[in-house]
């Protein structure tokens, strides 16, 4: 019998991927499942980006690339960061990764030693605690609530910082809550973190999916001294409907970026050249499709908020961005249907999938029991039918 390492025995499967897999399996069996679980746009990658990738294949860009990314892509990322985020980075301060998830993993591997603590505001993206654990660190959870817009305060953060605190992971706009921070709020957090010398891993993958005319601000720009202790993480997956292309990036001080690039060289060698050429077009080409997708997501958000407001016992914070809602459903816990007891939001998610054929993700893996994450990266028809099924299924609990 093969012995599995202790560090992997302690790691949990991704809850979002697991629910997506269950939904796909049921569909393959002919069940009409409506998925609110998907963490990716339902749009096709824009045509100009697809064509750039095809041309690159025809031009023979199918061989190894530098592990930190092709020079021209790093230049395009630097131009994007200066144009969109008011941040200046040189090529040796940027590394290309196999998605933003890979960049966060490598930043933690480069910075965290066993026993180090990493502060993670909750609700959090499901992979953060496991990635911290894989680096040998300990997650210190900092809870937030809908009443405060799911934001942490400097006072709350200061109390959480201890002698072993090495880093914090900030994600804004947030998966799963959709909340973000103003420039003033980020400046206040940044002042404290810069003073304490704590590494900030700033996950900004949803930066272009902000609604109501909001403008994304990076903490490294909101408080410029933070630039020296921040790794800014971004990519093309969410904004350009390129989840499967697997390109993310990190920008930060050369001392940590060089280590992350070295680690990538031992892991993946580098991402495909034709993918990088497509990403060049995404970052430097026309941006109208990004705005169109964002506007459609806002329309869907408003529709789903309107539908959920009619369901008794469901309370929902209105997100600033992303394509997720994170409603509070604890009023339906402790109920039952047909002898089936619903004690947790995990139970509720299973009930909704098996009985109502709606795929959702429970709040527990996000560090927020009593919630469900619902993605509105799906059609208007699915939102209308899915929320109708949700209302009927919740109404059947007593």
- What does the angle CA 203 – CA 209 – CA 272 come to, to the nearest 5 degrees? 60
Residue 34: exposure state from Cβ atoms within 10 A (0-12, 13-18, ≥19):
buried
Are 11 and 148 in a shared domain? no
Phi, psi of 40 (to 5 degrees): -150, 150
Number of other CB atoms surrounding residue 136 within 10 Å = 14
Q: What is the mean pLDDT of residues 150-177?
A: 98
151 neighbors 179 (Cβ within 8 angstroms): yes
Indicate the residue among 284, 308, 343 that finishes a domain: 284
Same domain, 186 and 278: yes
pLDDT band for 203, please (50, 70, 90 cuts).
very high
Residue 220 within any structural domain of the chain: yes
Q: Determine, yes or no, domain membership for 55.
A: no
Residue 226 has pLDDT above 90, yes or no: yes
Examine residue 50 and state whether it is found in any structural domain, yes or no.
no
Name all contacts of 387-392 with Cβ < 8 Å and 24+ positions apart.
387/304, 387/307, 387/308, 387/311, 388/307, 389/34, 389/352, 389/356, 389/357, 389/358, 390/308, 390/311, 390/352, 390/356, 390/358, 391/310, 391/311, 392/356
pTM for the full model? 0.97
CA 193 distance to own-chain centroid:
22
pLDDT above 90 for 282: yes
In this structure, is residue 79 part of a structural domain?
yes
Residue 373 counted as domain residue: yes
Give the C-alpha separation, 352 to 366, whole Å.
18
List, in order, residues 6 or more apart from 357 with CB less than 8 Å away.
26, 31, 32, 33, 34, 389
The confidence score (pLDDT) of residue 21 equals: 86
CATH number for 390: 3.90.1150.10
74 to 49, 117, 249, 280, 344: CA distances (angstroms): 17, 31, 9, 9, 45
In a domain, 51, yes or no: no
pLDDT given at position 188 = 98
Q: Quote the CA–CA distance of 181 and 158 in Å, as a whole number.
A: 17
| CB burial of residue 337 (10 Å; 0-12, 13-18, 19+) | middle
Assigned domain for 273 exists = yes
What pLDDT is stored for residue 14 in this prediction?
Answer: 87
**Mean pLDDT score across all residues of the chain:** 97
State the total domains in the chain: 2
pLDDT tens column, 33-76: 999 998 899 999 999 999 999 999 999 999 999 999 999 999 99
Instruction: Tell me what pLDDT residue 151 has.
Output: 98
Pair 310, 273 in one domain: no
Q: Which domain covers residue 250, as residue numbers?
A: 61-284
Same domain? 79 vs 33: no
Predicted local distance difference test score (pLDDT) of residue 358? 97
Do 113 and 202 fall within a single domain?
A: yes
Same domain, 29 and 146: no
Of 223, 251, 284, which closes a domain?
284
Q: What is the mean pLDDT of residues 247-252?
A: 98
Same structural domain, 143 and 273: yes
Same domain, yes or no: 200 and 275: yes
77 and 131 inside one domain: yes
The Cβ of residue 139 has, within 10 Å, a number of other Cβ atoms equal to 19
- Tokens, residue 271: 């991402």
pLDDT classification of 192: cutoffs 50, 70, 90: very high
Quick one: average pLDDT of 318-337? Answer: 97
Do 184 and 116 share a structural domain? yes
What is the domain-level CATH number for residue 219?
Answer: 3.40.640.10
Which of the residue ranges 14-18, 116-120, 262-266, 378-382 would you say has the lowest mean pLDDT? 14-18
129 and 113 share one domain: yes
pLDDT score recorded for residue 240: 98
Q: Write down the pLDDT at residue 23.
A: 87
In a domain, 199, yes or no: yes
Residues 223, 274, single domain; the answer is yes
Q: Domain boundary residue among 269, 284, 299? A: 284
Write down the pLDDT at residue 144.
Answer: 97
Q: What's residue 190's pLDDT? A: 98
Give percent of the chain above pLDDT 70: 100
């Amino acid at each position: 019998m093969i012995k599995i390492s202790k560090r992997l025995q302690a790691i949990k499967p991704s809850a979002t991927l697991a629910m997506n897999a269950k939904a796909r399996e049921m569909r393959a069996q002919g069940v009409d499942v409506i998925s609110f679980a998907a963490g990716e746009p339902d749009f096709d990658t824009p045509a100009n980006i697809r064509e750039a990738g095809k041309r690159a294949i025809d031009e023979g860009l199918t061989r190894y690339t530098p592990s930190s990314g092709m020079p021209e892509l790093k230049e395009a990322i630097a131009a994007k960061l200066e144009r969109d985020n008011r941040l200046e980075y040189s090529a040796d301060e940027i590394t290309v990764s196999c998605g933003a998830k890979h960049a966060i993993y490598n930043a933690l591997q480069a910075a965290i030693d066993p026993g180090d603590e990493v502060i993670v505001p909750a609700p959090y993206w499901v992979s953060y605690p496991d990635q911290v654990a894989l680096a040998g660190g300990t997650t210190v959870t900092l809870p937030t609530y809908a009443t405060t817009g799911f934001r942490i305060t400097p006072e709350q953060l200061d109390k959480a910082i201890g002698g072993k605190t090495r880093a914090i992971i900030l994600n804004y706009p947030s998966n799963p809550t959709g909340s973000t921070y103003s420039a003033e709020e980020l400046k206040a957090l940044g002042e404290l973190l810069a003073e304490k010398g704590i590494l900030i891993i700033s996950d900004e993958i949803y930066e272009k999916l902000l609604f109501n005319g909001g403008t994304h601000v990076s903490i490294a720009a909101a408080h410029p001294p933070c630039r020296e202790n921040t790794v800014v993480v971004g990519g093309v997956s969410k904004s350009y409907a390129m989840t499967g292309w697997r390109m993310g990036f990190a920008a930060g001080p050369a001392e940590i970026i060089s280590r992350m690039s070295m680690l990538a060289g031992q892991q993946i060698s580098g991402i495909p050249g034709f993918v990088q050429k497509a990403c060049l077009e995404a970052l430097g080409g026309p941006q109208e499709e990004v705005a169109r997708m964002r506007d459609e997501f806002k329309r869907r958000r408003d529709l789903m908020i309107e539908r959920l407001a009619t369901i008794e016992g469901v309370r929902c914070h209105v997100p600033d961005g992303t394509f997720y809602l994170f409603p509070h459903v604890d009023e339906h816990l402790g109920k039952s249907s047909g002898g089936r007891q619903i004690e947790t939001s995990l139970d509720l998610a299973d009930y909704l999938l098996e009985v109502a054929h709606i795929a959702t993700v429970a709040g527990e893996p996000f560090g927020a029991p009593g919630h469900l994450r619902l993605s509105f990266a799906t059609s208007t028809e699915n939102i209308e039918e899915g929320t109708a099924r949700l209302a009927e299924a919740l109404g059947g609990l007593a």
